[in-house]
Each structure stands twice: as structure tokens, then as C-alpha cells.
Chain A
Amino acid sequence: MRAARERSAGFTLIEVMIVMAITLVIGAVVYEVTRSSWLLYRVQTHVTERGFSVVHAVDDMSTEIARAGFGLGRDAGPLFPGTLEGVRAGDAITVRSNPEGVAAVLQEDLLEKDQLVAVDQAALFAAGDVVLLVDAERTLERAQVARVAPGSLALRSLDGPDGKLVHTFLTSLAARVLKVREVSFFLKTDRTGAVVLARKTTGRVEQTLARYVEELHFDYVGEGGEPMEAAAIRPGQGPRGVRITLRLGRNPDLPPVTVSPLRVLVSLEAQSASIAFDAAAFHTVGLAAVIGQDPVSGAKTVRMHAWRNTLPRF
């Protein structure tokens, strides 16, 4: 009896082979499931990152475009279809605002760089501020405050060579100085050769919003909802809305994915008004206001500035 039990103890070769075969099959299934899960993880992480990048970049551009012209008049060119350097392009946009509402009217003609000219609100400016020079004929020039003296400013052009002014700004044309915040969105190629969507804001370092961009385009919509040519946009004549198209490609280092393009129409808010002083509106004055809030007390402050939209005919 005992000898028979000893003979039946342990496994036969067939049993061991069956167990090994089952183990191999289960192992292969587990390996396949794990590999598929890992691939799925990488693909979905890539899809999620691309999706988030496109939504975040479009949201960032929409917020800036919607506030174009805050604290400025329409004559100050709140929106420019091109780069900060003034180059017109369909895949770049520059928006301007004056969130602090800092503005001054020239009391003397501005004819050359570094010339101290009297202005009515000089104390609001600081050396290094980027400003716009504007007059009633819609002449526009970017400049920088070189020096602040009591009741006067010295300015250098950012558009002319060596800071020389490209235009002259006369008191007879109601010339004024506006502190400006400019934000530009454009495509560039980074050090790795990837096409990136970049954002440059006055006085701040350049930021990259999204990498591997395949398409960025801005289309402009006129007052009646009709398409507006970018070439038709100039100071005093701007679009009512901007349609953004952004399409990102895949990251070449990650598994291939398809990323849907995003198209969004952004409406520009009313940021100033033109107020008529006669029945025929031959004499109008522009008026813009900004509202600020004290972060501690929560008190709100309103700052307004006005300008002659049209020259008086007295």
C-alpha cells in the first residue's frame, strides 16, 4: 500500500508540460495586455497633451484678443495683423491695450528724439515705458520714454533707426502719448527645429504656448459679420471679431496621434466711445476708461482719458 502511494506521488511529465503550456499562454496574455496598456497610455497621454495644448493656447489668445484696445481708442490701432516689429502676416497677431489708463496730451510739438516736450500728465510715466504716439490724422509710432522731468517727457522711437522719430507729432493735430501693453502671438522655429507658437508681451520674456504647430491662422470679421481683409485693418478701422485656427501636429518622439484643429471666433469688446458735439457729428471726441481694483481694499478706481477725434473747424 505504502509503495503504491509513493509511486503515485509527484507529477508526471505530461502534467508538468500541461502546466508549463498553461503558464506560457497566461504569461503571453499578460504580456500582451501589459504592452497594449502601455501603448494605450503613451498614445492617450500624447492625445491629452496635444488637446490640452491647443485648448490652452487658443484660450490664451482669445482672452488677449477680446481685451484689445482696453484703455485705448480705435485710432491707436488696438489690433495689428502681424508681428510686433510691424511685419504683416496671416499667422501672427499683435494686440494693444493700456490697462493702467496712462495717457497724456502733448503741450509742445515733438520733432526729434530725446527732446523734452511738455505733456499734461508726465508724472504718470516712468523711464523705459513703451508708449504709442498718436495724432488726429491717425499717425502712429511706437516709442519709449527716455527721460521723465517735471511736466515733460523725452521720447525715443522704437520704429526708427537709433531711436529717431519717423514722424513728427504736433499739438495742432492733438498728438498724445499712451502707455501701451503689446502682446504678440506668432510662429517661430526653436533650437530643436520644431515650429512653436510663441507669445511676446511688452517688458516680459517670450513664452512658448505650444510646440509642433502645423497651422495658425487669423481671419478677420467686419462690423456686419463679413470677412475683412487683413490689409484693410489700420488705425481707426479695425475688425469686429477674429477667427483663430490652430492645428497642432504630433510630437515626433511619441506614438502617432491625430489632433483635431480648433477654430474659435472671438468678438472684440467695445473699449471706447466717440461722442458727438454737434448734430452732424462733425466734431467728435473719443473717450476711453479703465477700471482698476485695489487688491487689498477691493476699492475700484476709474481712470478716463479723452482725445479729439476730429479737428475743430472754428
Chain B
Amino acid sequence: MAKHPPAFLNPKERGAALLLVLVALAFLMPLALLLSDFALRRQRQVTARQQNVAGQAAVGGALDLTMARLQSGRIVLVGPDQSARFELEEPETRLVRVRVSREPDAVLTLGGRVLGPEEAAELDVDQLGIDNLGGAVREYRRLEIYVVEAESPARSPFGAVRLLAVVARLDTGEVVCLGTRYDRGYFPPS
């Protein structure tokens, strides 16, 4: 009486099951790779757009916050070439690095000219005039000029989103934006 159950496969045919699996994989793998490639390609498009939109919104928000801090006096830069840095990072959002630097002040004339510090040195910027309705009109407005750089760093394979903006702080304390540009890509550290 046999002590061992009969072998499932003839000893000469033991590689057949492995061969069958390999053949099945050879048929199925290209199809699986093809499908996953399509899925990933579509996903990459969507993610790239989300990253761009999210990065742009993050640096845009950083500019608003910086303007609010300049207006409230939380950021004080007393002279040209001074700068301040801070980072914004909230849960579920992107890190944003912000640098604010002060540029030489400018003086705006009622006639629509921008004067640099040298041209404005001799002027009495508090001078008032009277218009033809008898109202008091200022001749000049002194402006503190700031450059704001906000960057949402690159997260491979997506590039960084950077905002460069010029803002002015009026002599009344009000802060206004004079121009904004967004760039995407990889930037050297500033």
C-alpha cells in the first residue's frame, strides 16, 4: 500500500505550472502597465494644475497678509536695503517663504511724476495748494516703496510658484499694491 499520495505532477512536468503563470503574466503585464500609465498620465495633469493653482493662491494670500502687516505696523523697516523674512505654514496648505525689502522712498507729484530721493531732497512735501473750488490739495505724496517676494517652494516634479510685487505705503499708513507678477519654475535662493 502506498504511503504517499500520488504526485500532482509528473516529476518531469513540475515546471509547467510556473511556465503557465509566466505566460499569463506576460499577457497581462503589458495591459496592466498600459492602463496604469493612462491613469497616471491623467492624474499628473490634474495634479500639476492643482499644484499651480494652490501655489498661486498661497503666494497671493501671503501678499495680502504682508500688506496687512505693513499697514498695521507689524512689519517695520526703517530704511532702504532693510528686509524682513517670515514663513507661513498651516496644516493642509503649502509652505510659503516671504521676504519684504524696502526700496528708496519716492515722492509722487500732483502733476503725475515720480521723483527719486535726490530730486525730492529740496522739496517741502507737506506743501498745500488751493484748487479753483477753494479746496485744499496736496502738492506731493511721499511713498515708502517695498518689494514683496513670496515663494511656494518646488516639490518635485512640480516647480515653485513665486510672486514678486511692488507695494507702497502712503504717508497716511494705507498700503496699496502697484504691480504683481507670478513666475513658475525653479529659482535660486534669494
Contact = CB atoms under 8 A, between A and B. Distances in A.
Which 10 residue pairs spanning A and B have beta carbons closest together?
A: A289-B178, A273-B176, A289-B166, A308-B112, A289-B179, A44-B38, A270-B177, A269-B180, A278-B137, A313-B131
Given A37-B34, A278-B135, A285-B108, A70 B179 contact: yes
Interface residues of B, number: 53
Contacts of B35: 40
A271 B180 contact: yes
| Residue with the greatest number of chain B CB neighbours at <10 A, chosen from A51, A270, A279, A283 | A270
A55 interface: yes
B114 A275 contact: no
Contacts, number: 142
A105 B111 CA distance: 11
B76 interface: no
A174 B111 CA distance: 9
A290 B179 contact: yes
Given A66-B56, A66-B182, A302-B147, 16 more contacts: A37-B31, A47-B38, A48-B41, A48-B42, A51-B42, A70-B180, A105-B112, A271-B177, A273-B178, A275-B108, A283-B131, A288-B179, A290-B181, A298-B190, A308-B110, A313-B131
Nearest to B188: A298
Contact of A275 (B30, B136, B164, B176): B176
B166 A314 contact: no
A291 B164 contact: yes
A125 B175 CA distance: 31
B146 to A, nearest CB: 10
Contacts of B145: 289, 302, 304
Contacts of A30: 27
A41 B34 contact: yes
Which of B35, B110, B133 has most A Cβ within 10 Å?
B110
Contacts of B60: 269
Given A37-B31, A37-B34, A288-B178, A307 B112 contact: yes
B58 to A, nearest CB: 14
A305 B179 contact: no
A59 B106 contact: no
Contact of B137 (A63, A174, A277, A306): A277
A237 B130 CA distance: 29
20 contacts: A33-B31, A48-B42, A52-B45, A67-B180, A270-B180, A271-B180, A272-B179, A273-B178, A278-B138, A279-B135, A283-B137, A285-B109, A286-B112, A287-B143, A291-B166, A298-B190, A302-B166, A304-B178, A307-B112, A312-B110
B112 A291 contact: no
Contacts of A41: 34
A5 interface: no
B165 interface: yes
Contacts of A44: 34, 38
A313 B177 CA distance: 27
Contacts of A290: 166, 179, 181
A250 to B, nearest CB: 17
B178 A293 contact: no
B15 to A, nearest CB: 20
B150 interface: no
Interface residues of A, number: 51
Contacts of B147: 291, 300, 302
Contact of A59 (B38, B52, B103, B164): B52
A312 B110 CA distance: 8
A34 B121 CA distance: 81
Contacts of A241: none
A8 B176 CA distance: 100
A312 B131 contact: yes
Interface string B52-85: 1000100010000000000000000000000000
B179 A291 contact: yes
Interface string A252-292: 00000000000000000111110101111011011111110
A238 interface: no
B25 interface: no
B41 A273 contact: no
B45 A55 contact: yes
B45 A51 contact: yes
Contacts of B137: 277-278, 282-283, 312
